[in-house]
């Protein structure tokens, strides 16, 4: 949707930064900050066991993502692309669709893509700041995730905490 004016560009920029902040927080194992992104919203997945909100996001990611001792991170890089954002000014809401690829390298795993899929996101404003409403994660392709998660994404649904 084409919109005019500086506010329109600022809204889209703020939403895009929110999308990228998600990937950065996961990659760097900053799970408390990740949970904060969903203080006013939820995250769900086609491989999940229901909605996670706020502190539940923090607990889930901390319990299921492998933090590597050599770096204190997941040794991953979330790469988001093909970002399409539509903002409804009057309602104070927005939607976005994008693709993602997660690459990983560890002492046991050479650098490679380990999972890819799509994000379908909705957002809303709270006190003039954009927040996730719902982040829906669709997992399309799965590679070697043995160094990333504590469960097998190919055969198991994400555990509930």
Strand bridging mode 42-45 / 109-126: unpaired
Q: Copy the structure tokens of residue 64.
A: 């299921």
pTM over 0.75: yes
Residue 77 is given by DSSP the state: E
Domain 6-142 has CATH 3.10.450.50: yes
pLDDT in tens, 2-18: 445 577 789 999 999 99
Residue 160 · residue 50 · CB < 8 Å: yes
Tell me the per-residue pLDDT of 84-122, one tens digit each, with 9 for 90 and over: 999 999 999 999 999 999 999 999 999 999 999 999 999
Total Cβ atoms within 10 A of residue 21: 15
Q: Is the predicted pLDDT of residue 143 greater than 90, yes or no?
A: yes
**Angstrom distance (rounded) from CA 81 to CA 78:** 10
Distance CA 119, CA 139 (A): 9
For range 27-38, the mean pLDDT: 98
């Amino acid at each position: 949707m084409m919109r005019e004016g500086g506010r329109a560009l600022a809204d889209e920029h703020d939403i895009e930064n929110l999308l990228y902040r998600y990937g950065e927080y996961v990659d760097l194992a900053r799970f408390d900050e990740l949970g904060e992104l969903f203080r006013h919203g939820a995250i769900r997945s086609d491989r999940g066991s229901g909605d996670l909100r706020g502190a539940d996001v923090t607990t889930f990611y901390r319990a299921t993502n492998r933090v590597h001792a050599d770096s204190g991170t997941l040794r991953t890089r979330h790469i988001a692309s093909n970002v399409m954002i539509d903002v409804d000014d009057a309602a104070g809401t927005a939607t976005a669709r994008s693709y993602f690829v997660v690459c990983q390298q560890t002492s046991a795993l050479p650098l490679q893509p380990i999972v890819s899929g799509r994000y379908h996101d909705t957002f809303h404003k709270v006190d003039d700041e954009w927040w996730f409403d719902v982040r829906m994660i669709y997992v399309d392709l799965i590679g070697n995730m043995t160094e990333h998660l504590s469960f097998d994404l190919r055969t198991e649904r994400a555990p509930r905490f």
